[in-house]
Amino acid sequence: MDKAHILEVHPHMQQYKATFKVTVEEHEITFEEDEEGYLRAIGDIHHSNTHGTEPGLLEEIARRIVEAVNQ
């Protein structure tokens, strides 16, 4: 099985929070903080369940975003 490729990560500043738009194998996934301060993945509304993207991959992407921001 081939591994997914992250092609782009774009931070977006909104009035009260930052979101991160990540392109994984041609699918855009938005990461934003939830009520508890953890990043959650939100897939494209037209493509439910982010096309079978593995939860472990989403967790790893969120971890790396947090790691990069906290440097």
Domain ranges (residues) in the chain: 6-69
Asked if the model's pLDDT at residue 38 lies above 50, the reply is: yes
The more confident residue out of 63 and 70 is 63
Of how many residues is the chain composed?
71
Report the pLDDT value the prediction gives residue 31, as an integer from 0 to 100: 92
Tell me how far the alpha carbon of residue 24 is from its chain's centroid: 9
Average pLDDT, the chain: 77
Report the pLDDT value the prediction gives residue 15, as an integer from 0 to 100: 72
pLDDT in tens, 42-67: 876 555 554 567 778 889 999 988 88
**Beta strands 27-33 and 39-43: pairing type?**
antiparallel
Report the pLDDT value the prediction gives residue 18, as an integer from 0 to 100: 83
